[in-house]
Structure 1
Amino acid sequence: MDIGLSLLTLLHILIPVYWLGGDLGAFYGSRFMVDPKRSVAERMMALKILNNIDMAPRTTLILAFPTGFGLAVAKGWLDLSASWAILAGVLGLAWLALAWAVHLKHGPQGQAFKRFDILVRYIVLAGLAAAVILGLSGQIALPLFITLKMLALGACITLGLVVRRQLVPLFPAIVQMRESGPTPETDRVIAAVNGRARISVLTIWVLVLIACFLGIATPL
């Protein structure tokens, strides 16, 4: 039995488990944040819990490609040396460290990390798009299910960037609610932003489930 391959397979299987589980927790917690019947302290606590739980799907999104890529190389689906899988793993861990720095750091330094993280996401998205186009056109040898999984991952990254833009109006409303109490206007903004973001998050759930099916069906 190949322990290394088994552990890598287990890690890749756990990706959608923690992705969807974390998203479900954040999805449920957002109900308390938008509930005008809750006190400001309760709503702020819900926001803090939501923000921390959300690091589970953010972490698994980053780990999805290096674990899947390493698995594809190990199983011979991709005709590449193990050094490429190791490189993908190292780069993935570096990106993961950056994402956690964004979460933990605040102030000017945190903003710098955030801008760099967004740049990395656009670079990864461009790489995935190029691989999908080359794979579908037959210019590089990629199994169909891997090409489609990369397409789903790229769509998830895109929707993640969309969610960030959708959340922009939320922060001034949260600050105003925290400093001077809730108003009908702040409640309206918070509820509207949450409603738009939920559509994007639900779409991500569908994409993750599709990627899971492709990984099981492996339609070459």
Structure 2
Amino acid sequence: MAELINISFYQLLVFIHTILFVLWLGADVGVFMLGQHFRKREKYDLPQRLVLLQLLVNLDMTPRTAWALMVPLTITMVDAGGWWDVPIWGVMLSWVVGAVWLWLVWDAHIHDQTERAARDRKIEFILKIGLTLFYIGLGVLSLVQGEPLIPVWLATKALMFGLIFAAAIMIDVAFKPVGPQLGKLIAEGSSDETEIPLRKTMDTTRIWVWIVYLLLLATAFLGNIKPF
């Protein structure tokens, strides 16, 4: 009975993991499409484009929320599935990290354009760098030594999850100039002088967005097919 309960718990975690993946990728595609329409200054006037941008920012909270929840969920899954005997304190720590990250994301969103939001995002940035190093290190160590993640596909998936962190961090870095550029667009109106630099920033950001999409699909493939 205990084994049956454990299997059911693991299956529940897999289901939740799938839902989070769908929300992450699906909502992010929506963000991408809104960004595409925001770029069309020949089709929409500036007030309409700003509404699209506001929708983009709000919808973007869905993948950001899913991303934060993926951290404790992945640690709990590998433990419940018998892939890695994670100490109970390690599982609990992962949920604390996930909860703190989730709070930072939403607190920054609610208090946007304030010093509090800027502080939240600085802390979040440091946290994401730490998690990037953790997952990449876990993946590389497992591939080289064959532990703690024994299956090659799972070790590779951990490594790729770390690379997703790195690419997503680069999205935020590349997108950072948008703030002052958008402020200039609102203050001075639409013109080549205000639009072209903003467009270049968004184009650069889109490169990293596509990298995240490809890595997400690759990790989903590894998790479902388990080719090696």
- Partner of 1:79, secondary structure, is coil
Q: Distance in 1 between matches of 2:9 and 2:62?
A: 24
Q: Please give the per-residue CA displacement for 1:153-207, whole angstroms capped at 9, x wherever unaligned.
A: 1111111111112112222221112122111122112221221211211111110
1:76 matched to 2:75? The reply is no
The aligned residue for residue 177 of structure 1 is 185
The aligned residue for residue 121 of structure 1 is 128
TM-score by length of 1: 0.92
1:54 matched to 2:64? The reply is no
The aligned residue for residue 14 of structure 1 is 19
Q: Is the 8 A contact 1:73 1:82 kept in 2?
A: no
What does residue range 96-135 of structure 1 map to in structure 2 within 5 Å? Answer: 96-106=102-112, 107-135=114-142
Q: Distance in 1 between matches of 2:105 and 2:218?
A: 25
Supply the AA of the counterpart residue of 2:58: N
Shift in CA distance, 5/136, structure 1 to aligned 2, threshold 3 Å: closer
Q: Is the 8 A contact 2:38 2:52 kept in 1?
A: yes
Structure 1, 29-38 or 3-12: larger mean CA deviation:
3-12
CA RMSD of aligned residues (A): 1.8
Q: Distance in 1 between matches of 2:156 and 2:188?
A: 49
The aligned residue for residue 29 of structure 1 is 34
How many aligned positions are there?
Answer: 220
Q: Distance in 1 between matches of 2:183 and 2:157?
A: 39
Q: Please give the per-residue CA displacement for 1:65-106, whole angstroms capped at 9, x wherever unaligned.
A: 321221111111112345532332232122111111122223
Supply the AA of the counterpart residue of 1:176: K
Q: Which runs of 5+ in 2 are unaligned?
A: none
TM-score by length of 2: 0.89
- Partner of 1:137, secondary structure, is helix
The offset of 1:130, in angstroms, is: 2.0
Supply the AA of the counterpart residue of 2:116: Q
Of structures 1 and 2, the one with the larger relative CO (CA 8 A, separation 6+) is 1
Aligned residues with identical type, % of pairs: 25
- Partner of 2:145, secondary structure, is coil
- From 146, 154, 162, the counterpart of 2:154: 146
Supply the AA of the counterpart residue of 1:160: A
Q: Please give the per-residue CA displacement for 1:88-140, whole angstroms capped at 9, x wherever unaligned.
A: 22321221111111222231111111110001011111212221222122163
- Partner of 1:109, secondary structure, is helix
1:40 matched to 2:39? The reply is no
Q: Distance in 2 between matches of 1:212 and 1:120?
A: 24
Q: Is the 8 A contact 2:140 2:159 kept in 1?
A: no
Structure 1, 1-10 or 45-54: larger mean CA deviation:
1-10
Q: Please give the per-residue CA displacement for 1:12-34, whole angstroms capped at 9, x wherever unaligned.
A: 01122011111110111012211
Q: Is the 8 A contact 1:173 1:189 kept in 2?
A: yes
Q: Which runs of 5+ in 1 are unaligned?
A: none
Q: Is the 8 A contact 2:136 2:160 kept in 1?
A: no
